[in-house]
Amino acid sequence: VRMRQAQRQMKGTKLQYLDQQPVLFSDVAGVPGAKEELMEVVDFFLKPQRFRRSGAKIPRGVLLCGPPGTGKTLLARAVAGEAGVAFLSLNASEFVEMFVGVGASRVRDLFAQARSLAPAIIFIDEIDAVGRTRGGAQGNDERDQTLNQMLSEMDGFQNSAQVIVMAATNRKDVLDPALIRPGRFDRIIYVGAPDFEGRIEVLKVHLGKPLPNGERRSYDISEEEFHELSFQFQRFSGAMLANIVNTAVILAGREGRTVIVYRDLTRALEEERLGPRREPYSDERQKRLAVQEAATALVCTLMPAIEPLTLVTIAPREKYPLGQTVLKVNEQRERTHMFTRRYLEEQLYTVLAGRAGEELIYGGDEVSTINQRRLVLARRIVSKLVVSNAMSDDPDLADRTISHPVRSGGRHLRQIVTKKHSYETLRVVDNEMGRLLNQSYADVKAMLERNRGCYDELIRSLMADSEQTLSGERVRAIVDQHACREDLDR
Ligand code: ADP
């Protein structure tokens, strides 16, 4: 590829449109299907004769659809890089922010430029900015003109033209149907966030990239650790993973290392999730946080249905100034939103643990407001159990709320909610919720009392840790060693 570029450079082609550092398919990971489909576009440039003779349909426009940060731009650049052709890119929103008539003429210029530089790829990012359905109530003349110009440019391509238009969007649904007609963007490729294996590949691609000074960075991470990381990075897009690696490199750099290790990546994840660190608190305040988070982490670890612990921290962070217990994301549960009674009851224990811990350590008169956020959650869980999902022993307390849409002021719809419970039933519901809450609180307090040695050890470790953070593994090790059998065998 570099040689082809060099040859073109010698012939005096304007190089500003060629990537100095061509992106290649090997730079894009976790999107095997998209790469395979785009190979054909590369073939079209590299073996045009054979392509024509084979009678294969000449690609004209390729639309990459998918959420932001999944590598659509990167893929387009990789096609240009692999084929060694010019790459002209523009964000469609730049067209529409201009004065009337300017957008259309920019489109004309762009296509003319591409023809003069051919073979070339035009890449239009966020094409929905110009490609929305024309006319309609919120019609926009400028945008319509720009879109018309783009359509007519694409229609005007000769078969011999060595120019392919690629575009990206995450709003295919709003695109004007005229754009995706044959001869225009008739190849649609979906690009999604990487799956389990894909995330590992993306991490490896970015971990293997050279440092700004050209030096190769390297990593010392086992396959097992990569699996663990992929598990923790569920739902991360390629761009988010690239970000994590960047942060990890900076963190390692602060310690004078160029070899990235597992811990750098998990620390980068902490920064991403919890925000950067803030000024440390006074010892007294720290102890309060430790009492709360250690109880939460302990109870989470003892609850079999609750997701495994990722980490627990009392280091004040931008997003969580009061410390946080972080659990692994359960992708499936998040997708289906299906919770069992057992899960919700265990969750209730975990959110009550902080307050129970405070009472145990400081005494009933000394509990503080620090647990506020979790107590609000507790109420919500109890209401889910008793009313919304009617999973308590009396399913008859099920929500009888009905909601029906009402028109108000023209097209605007409003949901009106009517409670159908009688006052009698409401009192029963209230009692049941109160009973459940008190019972769970008593249970969780007893659990902490039973495991007081383990609890104290967790508080101590959390406060003594230089980063005031314990990994899930460390908490599990302490719990395995100190918790009582009865709870471990649950
Ligand atoms: P999109 O165009 O889909 O919004 P980009 O291609 O601009 O996403 O991605 C931004 C950056 O994120 C890329 O430059 C790259 O560093 C990283 N990235 C995103 N997806 C991937 C991927 N599939 N493989 C490797 N890196 C990726």
> From the CB of 71, is ligand 1 less than 6 Å away?
yes
Residue range 480-488: mean pLDDT, rounded: 93
Give the C-alpha separation, 23 to 75, whole Å. Answer: 8
For residue 198, give the ligand 1 atom closest to its CA: 23
HSE-CB at 279 with a 13 A cutoff on CA atoms is: 3
**Cα–ligand 1 centroid distance for 378 (angstroms):** 39
Which residues neighbour 364 within 8 Å (Cβ) at sequence distance 6 or greater? none
The reply to whether ligand 1 has any atom less than 6 angstroms from the CB of 73 is yes
CA dihedral 235, 239, 241, 242 (to 10 degrees): 180
DSSP-based three-state secondary structure for 407: strand
6-29: pLDDT as tens digits: 444 433 333 334 446 789 999 999
Pairing between β-strand 259-261 and β-strand 218-220 as defined by DSSP bridges: parallel
**Cα-based angle 191, 196, 202 (whole degrees, multiple of 5):** 65
SS3 101: coil
Strands (E), 39-119: 61-65, 86-91
Distance 227 CA to ligand 1 centre (A): 21
Given a cut of 70, whether residue 369 has pLDDT beyond it is: yes
* Residue 42 clears pLDDT 60, i.e. is over it: yes
This complex has an ipTM of 0.98
Which residues are known to be catalytic? Answer: 293
In order, the DSSP letters of 428-487 are HHHHHHHHHHHHHHHHHHHHHHHTHHHHHHHHHHHHHSTTSEEEHHHHHHHHHHHS-HHH
CA 245 / ligand 1 centre spacing (Å): 13
Q: Is the beta carbon of 72 within 6 A of some atom in ligand 1?
A: yes
Closest CA to 164 of 46, 11, 29: 46
Confirm or reject: Cβ of 357 under 6 Å from ligand 1: no
User: Of 426, 421, 348, whose CA–CA distance to 382 is shortest?
Assistant: 348
Strand partners, 407: 413
Least confident of 86-95, 138-147, 255-264, 286-295: 138-147
Q: What is the tens place of the pLDDT at every residue in 122-133?
A: 999 999 888 877
Q: How far is the CA of 449 from the centre of ligand 1 (A)?
A: 50
Ligand 1 site-directed mutation target among 72, 74, 241, most atoms within 8 Å of CB: 74
Higher local confidence (pLDDT), 335 or 322: 322
- Provide the whole-model pTM: 0.71
Sheet holding 309-313, edge to edge: 324-327, 309-313, 469-471
Averaged pLDDT, 368-378: 88
**29 ligand 1 Cβ < 6 A:** yes
State the closest ligand 1 atom to the C-alpha of 125, by its place in the atom list counted from 1.
2
Q: Extract the tokens encoding 224.
A: 């097992």
